[in-house]
Amino acid sequence: MEYKIAVVPGDGIGPDVIEETLKVLDRVGDKYGHTFKYTKYLAGGAALDETGEPLPQDTLEGCKNSDAVLLGAVGGPKWDNFPGEKRPEQALLGLRKNLGLFANLRPALLFEALKEACPLKPEIIGKGLDICVVRELTGGIYFGEKGFKATEYGKGAYDVKIYSEGEVKRIAKIAFDMAMKRSRKVTNVDKANILESSRLWRRVVEEVAVDYPEVELNHMYVDNAAMQLIRDPKQFDVIVTGNMFGDILSDEASMITGSIGMLPSASLGVGNFGMYEPVHGSAPDIAGQDKANPMATILSAAMMLRYNFNLSEEADIIEAAVKSVLDQGYRTGDIMSKGMKLAGTKKIGQLIINEI
């Protein structure tokens, strides 16, 4: 089979980690007789430098016409003072919106070999962690009406949070479908004691739950969820939540797994189409220095094989290779600990390839 992949390396360590990931995919392709055809596109700061736009039309069209999108990261200090619509992050928001990617899946998996990197006490995490945050991605406060208005205290600014029944229904279904393949538990996170939009959200989640009698559903206010993730993260399996709450909680869930350099993500749209990217940013402090951990991006590519192309065996083999490299004691700087072997981006990539 031939698969058309739009590759968007982006800025900072984006190109470093993407390079290793493509090599890993090629190795999988050789082993299983698939051809992954890559076309590279600009986005973020790199695109701003070249075209004056964070998301050029050519990039958007190329991504739309591919089978899947693999993205590194965008942004960096060079573009920090650009006005709102010219900021690199606009590329991500634009891609998500224009590609109809409404669900963000972020597995927070703590590998046994990295248990020491978890900042929580060993008795809290037990044998490891496996939480998946399902975040709504194209609605809510990040996309609601925004503007300025005069207030009695001077100039004010506002952002409106609005959710429709249809938006909640489709994200809830994704969460329940995932839970069916995992531990059959969904925690809905909202702020229904205060927000009208959360009350609608909660009602629709409960309506969807009726179709999944085997899945246990519970609700939690976002402030409590932020505490519970640290106090007792093992109580969670799938967390479903809106755009802004999900943005914050998925980062928190990430950190309890020890390193942002290990965390993959998938953003899914309608049908078998998604964008796959690491959770971390462009890490300008280590860009181009062979120091970035490529595992988050490599694991994102595994998610692409699993969710986009239905290649479960190929995805499994990548994940097993990552685990094996960790078990052998190899670490990039972000996950380094005493007695382990420090390795750079390229070396880690090669070790993973060797395992496939």
Q: Between 132 and 283, name the residue whose CB sits nearer to ligand NAD.
A: 283
| 77-136 residues near ligand NAD, rule: CB under 6 A | 89, 92
Give me the least distance between CB of 7 and ligand NAD, in Å please: 14
Buried b (16+ CB within 10 A) or exposed e, 223-259: eebbeebeeebeebbbbbbbbbbbbebbebbbbbbbb
Choosing from 250, 334, 351, 353, the residue that interacts with ligand NAD (CB under 6 A) is: 334
Q: Which residues are catalytic?
A: 142, 191, 223, 247, 251
Q: Between 89 and 216, name the residue whose CB sits nearer to ligand NAD.
A: 89
Q: At residue 290, what are phi and psi to the nearest 5 degrees?
A: 60, 35
Closest-CA residue to 93 (of 44, 160, 129): 44
Residues paired with 38 in a beta bridge: 5
d(CA 195, CA 322): 42
Stretch of 183-191, 225-233, 280-288, 313-321 lying at the interface with ligand NAD (CB under 6 A): 280-288
Phi-psi region of 44 (alpha: psi -120 to 50; beta: other; left: phi over 0): left
| 9-48 residues near ligand NAD, rule: CB under 6 A | 13, 17
Stretch of 33-41, 127-135, 182-190, 275-283 lying at the interface with ligand NAD (CB under 6 A): 275-283
Choosing from 165, 211, 232, 285, the residue that interacts with ligand NAD (CB under 6 A) is: 285
**Residue 239 interacting with ligand NAD (CB under 6 A):** no
d(CA 23, CA 38): 11
Give me the least distance between CB of 67 and ligand NAD, in Å please: 21
Give me the least distance between CB of 294 and ligand NAD, in Å please: 7
Interface with ligand NAD (CB under 6 A), residue total 23
HEC readout, 252-286 = HHHHHCCCHHHCEEEEECCCCCEEEEECCCCCHHH
Give me the least distance between CB of 286 and ligand NAD, in Å please: 5
Give me the least distance between CB of 269 and ligand NAD, in Å please: 17
Residues paired with 153 in a beta bridge: none
Choosing from 69, 217, 296, 325, the residue that interacts with ligand NAD (CB under 6 A) is: 296
Residues 6+ apart with CB under 8 A from 30: none
Q: Which two tokens stand for residue 70?
A: 């693999």
d(CA 299, CA 308): 14
> Do residues 74 and 89 make contact, with C-beta atoms less than 8 angstroms apart?
yes
**Residue 282 interacting with ligand NAD (CB under 6 A):** yes
Q: What residue number has its CB nearest to ligand NAD?
A: 281
Choosing from 117, 131, 220, 260, the residue that interacts with ligand NAD (CB under 6 A) is: 260
Q: Which two tokens stand for residue 188?
A: 């809905």
Closest-CA residue to 101 (of 218, 226, 6, 238): 6
Q: Which amino acid is at 101?
A: L
Stretch of 68-76, 116-124, 157-165, 229-237 lying at the interface with ligand NAD (CB under 6 A): 68-76
Q: Which amino acid is at 121?
A: K
**Residue 283 interacting with ligand NAD (CB under 6 A):** yes
Stretch of 71-79, 193-201, 220-228, 313-321 lying at the interface with ligand NAD (CB under 6 A): 71-79
Residue ranges binding ligand NAD (CB under 6 A): 13, 17, 73-76, 89, 92, 260-261, 277, 280-286, 292-293, 296, 332, 334
